[in-house]
Amino acid sequence: MSLMSNLSTSMISSSSSSFLAPTNFNSSRTQRVSVPLKSIKICKCVATPQEQQTAYKTNVSRNANISKLQAGYLFPEIARRRAAHLLKYPNAQVISLGIGDTTEPIPEVITSAMAKRSHGLATLEGYSGYGAEQGEKALRAALASTFYGDLGIEEDDIFVSDGAKCDISRLQVVFGSNVTMAVQDPSYPAYVDSSVIMGQTGQFQKDVEKYANIEYMRCTPENGFFPDLSTVARTDIIFFCSPNNPTGAAATREQLTQLVKFAKDNGSIIVYDSAYAMYMSDDNPRSIFEIPGAKEVAIETASFSKYAGFTGVRLGWTVVPKQLLFSDGFPVARDFNRIVCTCFNGASNISQAGGLACLSPEGLEAMQEVIGFYKENTKIIVETFNSLGFKVYGGQNAPYVWVHFPGRSSWDVFSEILEKTHIVTTPGSGFGPGGEGFIRVSAFGHRENVLEACRRFKQLYN
């Protein structure tokens, strides 16, 4: 508020500020007017001084499922520790190879399409408001042909979204609280946390570091990071991420064929997260729908975040094939559509213009270049840890390197690395008990930072 009230005038569009009153309304809708801020009533927020704050409580009880969650979500917790480290060492040159956020600029061919759409919004012809909740037809068609060309996935099976994480939670709303679920252990934390929030689980059990009622499918170097399905209990939902975050492991065609058969035998639904599919170097499936029969048992969620630097732009998609049915024969896609229409009003039109540009021939080439850059970073990190004698996994098919510190606590290793090198990594145990003893090193970073980080790793562990 203080920022606003310090300004004396502001340029605002005459059609954009109904909540600021009064405005000098101008009948020309595209004309921009300069309105003295004095004539605009802006409410001033005055914070209550600490001493006047009361211990008043509402009568609303806290959502018991949310209260089951342990501490914070992993990545905010890492950010908190990074901030505390900076308080301790204000001059430290901290390098973040932790959270897995992209660092390189979005290719111009993509940003120029977004800029064009954005400028169009300032004109009568180019303006658009709410779009189709499921996404723009052209983008759905381009996604279908680019990623699922010969796989029988059609445009109307694809739901464009504001990102894979958001879709994971919306899928949980579709499933409700009466389903059981399985996850790879370790795995991306959003699956477990959204399941807890939905009430699908029991309490967190500190002795085993697991929530009751979740089937943790252990993925270790010993089983090639693919669970031994003969020991996995039946669940309704199976979250499966390949290439995997955090281990970097990618499932082979044979393994995914086993997984689809396992789901079919049990009448389960697989939620397949392919957010890193374009990072695949080996000849493994990029999509679960490459496996015959998968359309009857699987949903796939994907994202532009790590392909085009869209972590801030926000754009993803989820495929729910019309062949996928609940036990009463009702199509899952129709319920997903209902949730999308109720909980989400469609992805930003500007992001969707960017998504469409990503899928043009120039855009695809530009994305490959961005991915190639991060894959080179990955190689540098893998070589560094190999040269230091560590057992290193991942890296080949994903932008993550999974480094083994046998017998040590991941959080201790995380703290040691941060304290001694000012490098932020991610402790493996943050991804589930199966991640204990590992550190995830992300390859998202500027080249000079990755090289400097590797120099510091060598100093520490040589």
Ligand X SMILES: Cc1ncc(COP(=O)(O)O)c(C=O)c1O
Q: Which residues bind ligand X (CB under 6 A)?
A: 100, 163-166, 188, 241, 245, 273, 275, 303, 305, 311, 316
Given the complex with ligand X, which of 246 and 437 has the nearer CB atom?
A: 246
Find the shortest distance in angstroms from Cβ 226 to ligand X: 16
188 or 262, CB closer to ligand X? 188
Distance in Å, CB of 459 to ligand X, minimum:
29
CA atoms of 446 and 449, how far apart (whole Å): 5
Q: In the complex, what is the shortest distance from the CB of residue 360 to ligand X, in angstroms, rounded to a whole number?
A: 20
Residue whose CB is less far from ligand X, 241 or 358: 241
Tell me the C-alpha distance between 160 and 277, whole Å: 17
- Cβ closest to ligand X, residue 164 vs residue 171: 164
Query: Is residue 297 within 8 Å of residue 270, measured between CB atoms?
Result: yes
- The nearer residue to ligand X, 136 or 422, going by C-beta atoms, is 136
Smallest gap from Cβ 272 to ligand X, in A, equals 11
Q: What angle do CA 272, 102, 84 make, to 5 degrees?
A: 105
What is the number of the residue whose Cβ is closest to ligand X? 163
Residue 36 amino acid letter: P
Q: Which is nearer to ligand X, 348 or 421 (CB)?
A: 348
Report, in Å, the least distance between residue 190 CB and ligand X.
7
148/444 with CB nearer ligand X: 444
Q: How far is CA 45 from CA 2, 3, 36, in A?
A: 9, 12, 20
Check if the beta carbon of residue 396 is closer than 8 Å to that of residue 376.
no
Bridge partner list, 267 = none
Buried b (16+ CB within 10 A) or exposed e, 99-110: bbebbbebbebb
Residue 286 DSSP code: S
Helix (H, G, I), strand (E, B) or coil at 399: coil
Question: Is 21:40 a contact under the CB 8 Å cutoff?
Answer: yes
Nearest to 200 by CA among 167, 172, 174: 172
Rounded to the nearest whole angstrom, what is the least distance from the CB of residue 316 to ligand X in the complex? 4
Residue 353, judged by CB atoms within 10 A of its CB (0-12, 13-18, 19+), counts as: buried
Dihedrals φ, ψ of 287, to 5°? -135, 145
Dihedral angle computed from the Cα positions of residues 176, 182, 184 and 187, in that order, rounded to the nearest 10 degrees: 20
Integer Cα distance of 300 and 323 in angstroms:
13
Distance CA 40, CA 22 (A): 6
By C-beta, is 240 or 461 nearer to ligand X? 240
Query: What minimum distance in Å lies between the beta carbon of 281 and ligand X?
Result: 18
The distance of closest approach from Cβ of residue 264 to ligand X in the complex, given in angstroms and rounded to an integer, is 24
Closest approach of ligand X to the CB of residue 114, in Å:
17
Q: How far is the CB of 42 from ligand X (least distance, A)?
A: 34
Q: For the chain, how many helices (H) and strands (E)? A: 13, 17
In the bound state with ligand X, the residue whose beta carbon lies nearer, of 35 and 107, is 107
Which lies closer to ligand X via its Cβ, residue 102 or residue 421?
102
- Take residue 229 and report the two structure tokens written for it: 């399905």
Mutual angle of helices 108-120 and 361-387, in 10-degree steps? 130
Q: How far is the CB of 90 from ligand X (least distance, A)?
A: 29
For residues 405 and 155, give the distance between their C-alpha atoms in angstroms, rounded to a whole number: 45
Nearer to ligand X, 136 or 162 (CB): 162
User: Which of 194, 200 has the CB closer to ligand X?
Assistant: 194
The residue length of the chain stands at 462
Tokens of 308: 């085009």
In degrees, rounded to 5, the angle at the alpha carbon of residue 243 between the alpha carbons of residues 237 and 246 is 85
Say which DSSP state 400 is in: E
Least distance from C-beta 101 to ligand X, angstroms?
A: 8
